[in-house]
A and B are shown apart, each in its own frame.
Chain A
């Protein structure tokens, strides 16, 4: 068994990044995720693994530092919360276009605008539907526990390099701030220059005499060339959709109804399941773990088995669009949400199920 610790979600993702062989962190402070950089600064990985930890002058600078670091094949990451992630969207689109791997962490807070510092899930559209311009996708992982904050840092880097794409961990203020038991994986050494050159032949690592320049860019003024770039990206996304879907089903075997929820909402729904089942209501939970790629086939199959689905989100109804696209019109699907930093209580969710799905 790995080392057991009690950690905040923000601390766990930071520790896991060091252990996953991260080469550099670039970020700018914002509540409720400031502990990520605070933890890295206090751990001083630059003295142990050689990982760079840098407070940039802004979020825009951070994401462009990531572009540069990723272009040389380094494992780089940034973190922020909703308004800061909005500032990064141009850079994320450029990285998707230039096919650069990186780990992005969004510890979501309530919006729109400066909003609030309390937890929210209102950035689903931004993460999943492409917050920046152009036809691109990024892989989005939605942790529901502090353990997953740690595990997904490692998984995130793996997927980022496997597909040469930015990967986002979409967490929220509650999972960032709460402490739970974490089993930490053993540290993976940072790659040596030789390993990096061997594993990332696309990276700008300096030009030897026997090959051409490597140019990292998202610009191709020739439309035929830019269409080829797009076709290549789309082929990659189809492959990701085929191979990388992650989800969890709880108490779905005999369920007549299901909650569909991700992240913190999924944890709340687990308590709601206990309460509802004590009243004789057979309800289960379907939890998408990857928000992109979305578990479309699994939702479609589930929709054929149950009498109704309640999509529970801390937003005004975002993931429900993907649930409806997956399920079609075969079953009743309703949304229950709280906004602006309010977290729904487990009994409130049971009442919503009774009112909107069972009674409605």
Chain B
């Protein structure tokens, strides 16, 4: 099993940390992982993206231009990454702020209104974990106990008090997915 994922949105949405928590959970389950961020001028322009690969085998290229899953959190990222999903692959997006919705006919598409829900529940800090929860519901790459360990490892000790909120957010995410196009 190898899952190649792009996570993309604005800087500050927790794109890189979502990827890191997923990758660290994979390490805890002794899977091979790679986490390749955009950095430098691209990041300083306000958008952020990260390629995460979780695999049972040695990972070849950490840099990819086609993905099994795209998790998209703003319009620029939709414009850039909708076309990079492999046929039959998965696109998950938060419709908040999206004006041009995805139009591909050959991929599975789900929306997740994570920003809205996070705002309502006062969980804005863990908005990214709601999205991750939705993704893990569709693709259970790592078991929940390893997600817990991944959170412990990737959050600094002073933020460990937020782990219950993070786990609650992951649970909430599972219920927020809306299937928009599901291929047979």
Of residues 79 through 113 on chain B, the ones whose CB sits less than 8 Å from some CB of chain A are: none
Q: Which size bracket describes the interface of A in this complex?
A: 20 to 34
Task: List residues of chain B with CB within 8 A of the CB of A32.
Answer: 39-40
Question: Interface code B23-67, partner A: CB below 8 Å = 1, 0 otherwise?
Answer: 110111011111111011100000000000000000111111110
Task: List residues of chain B with CB within 8 A of the CB of A116.
Answer: 40
Q: Which among B26, B37, B39, B153 has the greatest number of chain A C-beta atoms within 10 A?
A: B39
Question: In angstroms, how far is the closest chain B Cβ from the Cβ of A53?
Answer: 21
Bound Cα distance from A12 to B66, whole angstroms: 28
A174 touches which one: B36, B60, B154 (CB < 8 A)?
Answer: B36
Task: List residues of chain B with CB within 8 A of the CB of A174.
Answer: 36, 62-63
Bound Cα distance from A244 to B65, whole angstroms: 36
B20 touches A6 (CB 8 A): yes
Question: Chain A: which residue is nearest B153 at the CB level?
Answer: A6
- Selecting from A82-90, A120-128, A224-232, A343-351, the interface stretch reads A343-351
Given known A345-B65, A346-B61, contact A177–B154 (CB-CB < 8 A): no
Q: Which size bracket describes the interface of B in this complex?
A: 20 to 34
Question: Interface code B151-165, partner A: CB below 8 Å = 1, 0 otherwise?
Answer: 001100000000000
A6 touches B40 (CB 8 A): no
A215 at the interface (CB under 8 A from B): no
Q: Which among A5, A179, A271, A343 has the greatest number of chain B C-beta atoms within 10 A?
A: A179
A179 touches B20 (CB 8 A): yes
Bound Cα distance from A330 to B66, whole angstroms: 37
Bound Cα distance from A267 to B60, whole angstroms: 5
A345 touches B64 (CB 8 A): yes
Bound Cα distance from A345 to B61, whole angstroms: 9
Question: Chain B: which residue is nearest A177 at the CB level?
Answer: B39
A129 at the interface (CB under 8 A from B): no
Bound Cα distance from A179 to B26, whole angstroms: 12
Task: List residues of chain B with CB within 8 A of the CB of A179.
Answer: 20, 23, 33-35
Bound Cα distance from A32 to B153, whole angstroms: 24
Bound Cα distance from A273 to B61, whole angstroms: 11
Of residues 266 through 300 on chain A, the ones whose CB sits less than 8 Å from some CB of chain B are: 267-268, 270-274
B32 touches A181 (CB 8 A): yes
A301 at the interface (CB under 8 A from B): no
B40 touches A346 (CB 8 A): no
B62 touches A178 (CB 8 A): yes
A31 at the interface (CB under 8 A from B): yes
Of residues 109 through 161 on chain B, the ones whose CB sits less than 8 Å from some CB of chain A are: 153-154
Question: In angstroms, how far is the closest chain B Cβ from the Cβ of A268?
Answer: 4
A221 at the interface (CB under 8 A from B): no
Task: List residues of chain B with CB within 8 A of the CB of A173.
Answer: 39
Question: Chain A: which residue is nearest B34 at the CB level?
Answer: A180
A118 at the interface (CB under 8 A from B): yes
Of residues 1 through 41 on chain B, the ones whose CB sits less than 8 Å from some CB of chain A are: 20, 23-24, 26-28, 30-37, 39-41
Task: List residues of chain B with CB within 8 A of the CB of A177.
Answer: 36-37, 39
A235 at the interface (CB under 8 A from B): no
Given known A4-B30, A174-B62, A179-B20, contact A117–B35 (CB-CB < 8 A): no
Instruction: Using A179-B34, A181-B27, A271-B61 as known contacts, list a sample of 7 further A-B pairs with CB atoms less than 8 Å apart, ordered by residue number in A.
Output: A4-B28, A6-B23, A117-B40, A178-B35, A178-B37, A181-B31, A268-B61
A and B contact pairs by CB, cutoff 8 A, 30 listed: A4-B28, A4-B30, A5-B27, A6-B24, A6-B153, A6-B154, A32-B39, A116-B40, A117-B39, A118-B40, A178-B34, A178-B37, A179-B35, A180-B32, A180-B34, A180-B35, A180-B62, A181-B27, A181-B32, A181-B33, A264-B63, A267-B60, A267-B63, A268-B61, A343-B63, A345-B63, A345-B64, A345-B65, A346-B60, A347-B65
Residues on B lying within 8 angstroms of A by beta carbon are 20, 23-24, 26-28, 30-37, 39-41, 59-66, 153-154
Q: Which 8 A-B pairs have the closest CB atoms?
A: A270-B60, A271-B61, A179-B35, A271-B60, A178-B36, A345-B65, A268-B61, A117-B40
Residues on A lying within 8 angstroms of B by beta carbon are 4-6, 31-32, 116-118, 173-174, 177-181, 264, 267-268, 270-274, 343, 345-347
